[in-house]
Chains A and B, each alone.
Chain A
Amino acid sequence: MAGEARYLDPAIVARLGTIDLKARTIVEGFLTGLHRSPYKGFSVEFAEYRQYLPGDDLATLDWKVYARSDRHFVKKYEEETNLTCHLLLDVSGSMGYGSGPITKLQYGSYLSGALAYLMNRQRDAFGLIAFDDRIASLVPASARTGHLRAVLLALERLKIGAGTNVAKPLRDLAAAVRKRGLVVLVSDLLDDPQSVLDGLKHFRYRGTDVVVFHVIDPYELTFPFERSARFRDIETAQEVMAVPSTVRQDYVDRMQARIAHYKRELGLAGIDYCLLDTSQPLELGLMAYLMTRRRVL
């Protein structure tokens, strides 16, 4: 995937200062690249403009823009443009794992920060909910000026929690989110898959769109260990003695089966699914978000 070379390596992002800077670097870089990218035909709008679509009111066409760019853009009212987005970030113990320079939680935090920055640029209302088996941190959705800072500050202060119970906070949030919007779940989904799916489907029942970022460490995908070792579960402390060469294939098959299961079941439920391993550029997440947003709007 040579094209990804132009994106920022998560490891480099990790060395940047505050999450504010990280988010800005990621998003600005992403957008710069996007203008040159073949994806711009997607008519991504990052302000109050949207490309004209058949059926749009012609009165909303911005002729000045058309005159400058020779393109048809419709001018939307701010009220119509804004989207309420809830960033759900898993801070359970398993998110603290990282075989490389960054953990899954750091990766999820950067992704969430970048999404928040992007949403802020688009003037969408956004909020942040961090959870493990309960809600650990909550920043209500808002589009106010300065709200981005509050979200980024909350991301900055996140700490690793206990065990994962995605289903329960999702049910709670589904009940709390009244307004139709977008839910972005950033999690390693190391929970009972059915519970996770049930929780996410609650949003769908309420008409809320959902995009799932399945953050996973490369080691979780390939299980590249060599020596026999006792593998201790980060959340439950359960220990399993295993000879990697013996169990590797079985483990990888199980992991791939789980990913395939999520992909299939979430697809059937109308939920976008994006698998991100922590070695991949964060921009891939932003791209997935924008595609979902486009579909939502």
Chain B
Amino acid sequence: MFGVSFLSPLFLIGALAAAVPILLHLFHRKTDVVIDFPAVSLLTKAPVQHHRRRQLRELILLVLRVAALVLLAVSFARPYVAGAAAPASAPVTVVALDTSMSLSAPGQFAQAQRAASQAVESAPASDAVALITFSDVATVVVPPTSDRRTVLSAVSAAAVGAGGTRYRTALASASEVIGARDARVVIITDLQQTGWEANDEGGLPDGVDLRAVAVAGPVSNLAVTSAAHRDRIVVATIQNYGSDQAQTPVTLMVEGEPVAQATATIAPFAAMDVELRGGLGDAGTAQVVIDDQAGYQPDNVRFLALDPPPAVPIAVVVADPTGAVGGIYLERALAVADEGREFAVTVADGRVLSKWTAAEMARQAAVMILGTRTLDRSGRERLKGYLAGGGQVLLTLGPDVDPGTLSDVIGTDLGVAPAVIRATDATLVATDSRHPIFRPFLLPSGALGDVQVDQHRRLKDQDGRTVLARLTGGDAALTEQTVGQGRLLVFTSDLDNQWSRFPLHPSFVPFAVETARYLTQGRQQRQDFTLPDVPAGVPAAPGIIRSGAGAAARPIVVNVDVRESRPAATSVDEFTKDITRTHRSDDRQVADVARDAEDRQRWWQVGLLVMLVALAGEALVGRRAA
């Protein structure tokens, strides 16, 4: 029951132009000259055949001309085939089936499937029926159709997953399916409280009847909510979501084999850490498994990668590494990150840097410039090319930086005043506290306010430069700008404990680490992912995935979102009350659906193509007729 509709049906009026060639044809035929002539018997028979051919040719020409005009009008009317098997105006019952992890307790999803089947069978006879399954995302499994057997088959074939519950996603999808039709929605779910994600958008249009069918969840659930690897020990956190004390064996498995086991006894609504020792290597993956037969199954296992993530290379350029202030503070600060595993810091002076190849330079995820006085022309060109080609650079304007040669190093004039500003009691103030660099300083304990800066250089105002932090005197302390394809952060004082006491301040380490992370974001290789946020190409299911090939291959672990492990449910009334009702802009929705369908199908292009063929045929036949 596919029907052809038109996005701009008024253009179909243009098809009336097809009457013109028809009328001309008829008029021409009616006005055939008839001549009375006595010697008709001497006229050869050939013209008769010629005439018949001509008649056929004229008929073909007429058909081609009419076809061309009609196709032109139809193409402009933007035709599309309504994809839904049921008429777009028919009322619809949308059955939304929850397939999130919170339906994975034994027997729970079968109960949900029965409820869904019953909803399909009990839908009004005049209704089309559609099936949506939802967890983190909603999928229209069966668009509105009058074939209920198909819907029932799809219900039977549905499977529970490990995703989270997102009610609004399901409701938004149902709204799209409903469009402007009269509709009712039957949602089959465990009414889990955590399903109302605040950031989601979606509701039901006014007038759409909603019936929530509650599928009872387990009375308790045990989940492995985290597992961390420290010094050949795995510390697993086991959460008891039940109201009774629970006991479960906790097993550490490496490459499919149990290497350690413990028993955890967990108080009601409490969590406990379990240390698992033995049999762990420095590489590979492991999983912590508990035995919870009654609760949700996917959260009974937690995967972890034993491989340390590769350190991110960072170069620190100093004037003299052998000196007393050869970037030691910055190097030490970066070494704190992930116990020295996150960054691989290379301290180099200008002489060393000048000998680096372009590949060595490009390998650096970021470059932090503390001194430029030993940079020769080659080193300056190397840095300039690195930044212009997309490199990430932190430049300090301390005493080892020569402002006169900065433009050769950076590739642009930063507008640095040569005079050193000496300010007393100048402290740092974050201009944009939401910036990733200042994330650790949101709490008062981590404030930058007591960082004193004695000397600094003044930057002139420039377009395209963002001031991330200022000194209390008003001068810029930390700025960000793009240079070529790269990103440049400029700290207007030094980080070598010469012009300020900042490197001795507790906030220096988080500042240095977050700055390095900010500069190297995208170069860091994550190994742990939580559903539904998985990298491209990785299936959205808990487990261990090998990413990359050859020597670059590394394991990626994907775990469930532990928020989904909480079985606490709301009531049907509360659930219904939380649903946002949207104003039904019927025409707009129908138009949007139609526009989308037309945009996908693009029959107008086919129409115009056929029209051109018809015109070409008309020209060909017409020329032969002439």
The listed residue (B40, B50, B54) touching A231 by CB distance below 8 A is B40
User: Which residues of the partner chain B approach A242 to less than 8 Å between Cβ atoms?
Assistant: 43, 47-48, 50-51
CA distance in complex: A233, B39 (Å): 7
Known contacts A229-B32, A230-B32, A241-B51, A247 near B46 by CB under 8 Å: yes
Q: Judging by beta carbons under 8 Å apart, are A258 and B42 in contact?
A: yes
Task: Give B55's nearest chain A residue, CB to CB.
Answer: A241
Contact B50 A232 (CB under 8 A): no
Interface centre among B32, B37, B41, B44 (most CB of A within 10 A): B37
Least Cβ–Cβ distance between B67 and chain A, in angstroms:
26
CB distance from A165 to the nearest CB of B (A): 14
Inter-chain pairs besides A229-B33, A231-B43, A243-B47, 12 sampled, C-beta below 8 Å: A93-B38, A188-B38, A220-B39, A232-B37, A236-B40, A239-B40, A242-B48, A243-B50, A246-B46, A247-B46, A251-B39, A255-B42
How many residues of A are counted as interface, with CB atoms below 8 angstroms from the partner's CB atoms? 33
Please provide the chain A residues from 51 to 85 with a CB less than 8 Å away from any CB of chain B in the complex: none
Contact indicator A240/B39 (Cβ below 8 Å): no
A243 neighbours in B (Cβ, 8 Å): 47, 50-51, 54
Q: Is the pair A230, B35 in contact by a Cβ cutoff of 8 Å? A: yes
Cross-interface CB contact of A240 among B32, B33, B43, cutoff 8 Å: B43
CB of A250 closer than 8 Å to a CB of B: yes
Q: Which residues of A contact B50 (CB under 8 A)?
A: 242-243, 246
- The answer on a CB contact under 8 Å between A232 and B40 is yes
* B4 interface residue per 8 A CB criterion: no
Inter-chain contacts of B48 with A (CB < 8 A):
240-242
Interface bits B38-82 vs A (CB < 8 Å: 1, else 0)? 111111101110110010000000000000000000000000000
User: Residue of B at shortest CB range from A227?
Assistant: B33
Interface residue? A228 (CB, 8 A): yes
Establish whether residues B34 and A239, one from each chain, have CB atoms under 8 Å apart when the complex forms: yes
Give the size range of B's interface with the partner. Answer: 10 to 19
Closest CB in chain A relative to B244 CB, distance in Å: 102
| Residue in contact with A251 in the complex, picked from B32, B34, B35, B42, CB distance below 8 Å | B42
- B36 interface contact, C-beta 8 A: yes
Q: Are A225 and B38 in contact (CB under 8 A)?
A: no
The listed residue (B32, B35, B42, B54) touching A254 by CB distance below 8 A is B42
Chain B residues within 8 Å of A, Cβ to Cβ? 32-44, 46-48, 50-51, 54
A residues near B37, Cβ cutoff 8 Å: 97, 219-220, 231-234
Q: With both chains docked as a complex, state the minimum distance between the C-beta of A16 and any C-beta of chain B, in angstroms.
A: 26
Partner of A229, one of B34, B39, B41: B34
Contact residues of A between 221 and 280, Cβ < 8 Å to B: 225, 227-236, 238-243, 246-247, 250-251, 254-255, 258
Do residues A230 and B38 form an inter-chain contact, with CB atoms below 8 A? no
Does A94 count as interface, using CB distance less than 8 angstroms? yes
- Residue pairs across A and B with Cβ atoms less than 8 A apart, 7 shown, are A220-B39, A233-B36, A243-B54, A246-B46, A246-B50, A251-B44, A255-B39
Report B57 CB to chain A, min CB distance, Å.
Answer: 13
Chain B nearest CB from A89 CB (Å) reads 16
Give the residues in chain B near A234, CB-CB below 8 Å.
36-38
Q: Are B44 and A233 in contact, with the CB atoms below 8 A?
A: no
User: Complex Cα distance A188/B32, Å?
Assistant: 28
The answer to the question of A190 belonging to the interface, with a C-beta cut-off of 8 Å to chain B, is: yes
- Residue in A104, A231, A258 with the greatest tally of chain B CB atoms within 10 Å: A231
Q: Name the B residues within 8 Å of A93 (CB-CB).
A: 38
Q: How far is the CA of A240 from the CA of B49 in the complex (A)?
A: 10
Which single residue of chain A is at the shortest CB-CB distance from B39?
A: A220
Query: Which residues of B are found within 8 Å of A97, using beta-carbon distances?
Result: 36-38
Measured between beta carbons, the chain B residues less than 8 angstroms from A232 are: 34-37, 40
A228 / chain B contacts, CB cutoff of 8 Å: 33
CA distance A235 to B40 in the complex (A): 10
Q: Which residue of B lies closest to A231 (CB)?
A: B37
CA of A94 to CA of B42, assembled, Å: 13
- Near B by CB (< 8 A), chain A positions 197-223 give 217, 219-220
Are B40 and A233 in contact, with the CB atoms below 8 A? yes
Chain B residues near A235 (CB, 8 Å)? 38
B38 and A94 within 8 A (CB): yes
Most-contacted residue by chain B among A242, A247, A254 (CB, 10 A)? A242
Inter-chain contacts of B34 with A (CB < 8 A): 229-232, 239
Q: Tell me the bound Cα distance from A217 to B41 in angstroms.
A: 15
- Separation of A241 and B32 alpha carbons in the complex (Å): 9
Minimal beta-carbon separation of B61 from chain A (angstroms): 15
User: Are B38 and A247 interface neighbours, CB within 8 A?
Assistant: no
- Give the contacts of A176-197 with B (CB-CB under 8 A): 188, 190
Are A190 and B46 within 8 A (Cβ)?
no
Residue of A nearest to B52 (CB): A241
Residues on B with C-beta less than 8 A from A241 are 32, 47-48, 51
CB distance from B466 to the nearest CB of A (A): 83
Please give the distance in Å from B625's CB to the nearest CB on chain A. Answer: 11
B584 to chain A, nearest CB (A): 64
Question: Which residues of chain A are near B38, meaning CB under 8 Å?
Answer: 93-94, 97, 104, 188, 190, 217, 220, 233-235
Residues of B with C-beta under 8 A to A190? 38-39, 41
A247 touching B44, Cβ below 8 Å? yes
B285 to chain A, nearest CB (A): 89
Q: Quick one: closest B residue to A242, CB to CB?
A: B47
A257 to chain B, nearest CB (A): 9
